[in-house]
Amino acid sequence: ILGFSTPPGRLSMMAFILNALTCALALLYFIRRGKQCLDFTVTVHFFHLLGCWIYNSRFPSTLTWWLVHIVCTALMAAIGEYLCMRIELREIPLNSAPKSNV
């Protein structure tokens, strides 16, 4: 189904890319650590590979399947790490007590 030549193939690829973007936001919400984003991304895509392998009863062998998943893995890891690093690098407020008018 994945392919550049047919509209359903292009639609499927866009769905995978949008899924990678939403999963990057999930990394920000659940993980919140830039160093762990790549680990969780590869783990999620590995479980997806196993699920596809079990569901289809054969190992995925098409080049477009692998290209789409490599691109989606890279997007999810890079964007997730970028978002998490932005949260990690925020300034820590040192004066947390409310100001009083003395």
Alpha carbon distance 23, 43 (integer Å): 12
Alpha carbon distance 31, 66 (integer Å): 26
All structural domains of the chain with their residue ranges: 33-86
pLDDT value, residue 8: 87
pLDDT at residue 100 greater than cutoff 70:
no
Q: Is 24 within 8 Å of 74 (Cβ atoms)?
A: no
pLDDT value, residue 47: 96
Select the more confidently predicted residue: 96 or 64: 64
Alpha carbon distance 1, 56 (integer Å): 13
pLDDT value, residue 95: 73
According to DSSP, residue 4 is labeled S
Residue type, 82: Y
pLDDT at residue 92 greater than cutoff 80:
no
Taking residues 1-26, what's their average pLDDT?
88
pLDDT in tens, 39-83: 999 999 999 999 999 999 999 998 988 999 999 999 999 999 999
